[in-house]
Amino acid sequence: MISVWGGQTSRSLRVVWLLEEMGLSYRVRHVDMLAAEKDPAWLAINPGDFLPAIQDGDITMVESVAIMQYLMGRYGPTPLQPAPDDPTFPPYQQFLHMGEAGLATLIMVPLVSGFIAPAAERDNWGARWARECVERRRLLVRRQLANAPYMAGDSFTAADISVAYALRLAANHAGFTLTDAEQAYLDRTTARDGYKRAFDRSHEGL
Q: What is the smallest separation between the CB atom of 147 and ligand GSH, expressed in angstroms?
A: 27
Q: How far apart are CA 178 and CA 146, in angstroms?
A: 15
Q: How far apart are CA 3 and CA 1, in angstroms?
A: 6
51 near ligand GSH, rule: CB under 6 A = yes
41 near ligand GSH, rule: CB under 6 A = no
Q: What is the smallest separation between the CB atom of 204 and ligand GSH, expressed in angstroms?
A: 18
Q: What is the smallest separation between the CB atom of 125 and ligand GSH, expressed in angstroms?
A: 21
Q: How far apart are CA 15 and CA 6, in angstroms?
A: 9
Q: Which stretch binds ligand GSH (CB under 6 A): 43-51, 131-139, 142-150, 191-199?
A: 43-51
187 near ligand GSH, rule: CB under 6 A = no
DSSP 8-state class, residue 154: S
39 near ligand GSH, rule: CB under 6 A = no
Q: How far apart are CA 3 and CA 53, in angstroms?
A: 8
**Across the strands, what pairs with 55?**
3, 60
Beta strands 2-6 and 26-30: pairing type?
parallel
Question: What's CA 142's distance to the chain center, in Å?
Answer: 18
How many C-alpha atoms does 203 have within 13 Å on its Cβ side?
7
Q: What is the smallest separation between the CB atom of 89 and ligand GSH, expressed in angstroms?
A: 21
11 near ligand GSH, rule: CB under 6 A = yes
Q: What is the smallest separation between the CB atom of 65 and ligand GSH, expressed in angstroms?
A: 6
Instruction: Compose the 13-32 pattern: x for residues touching ligand GSH by CB under 6 A, - for all others.
Output: --------------------
202 near ligand GSH, rule: CB under 6 A = no
69 near ligand GSH, rule: CB under 6 A = no
Q: Which stretch binds ligand GSH (CB under 6 A): 16-24, 63-71, 122-130, 190-198?
A: 63-71
10 near ligand GSH, rule: CB under 6 A = yes
Is residue 170 within a helix (H) or strand (E), and if so which, with residue range? Answer: helix 158-173
Select 127 or 153, whichever has its Cβ closest to ligand GSH. Answer: 127
Long-range contacts of 179-188 (CB under 8 A, 24+ apart): 179/142, 181/142, 181/145, 181/146, 182/138, 182/141, 182/142, 182/145, 185/141, 185/145, 185/149, 188/149
Query: What residues make contact with ligand GSH under the rule CB under 6 A?
Result: 10-11, 33, 49-52, 63-65, 100
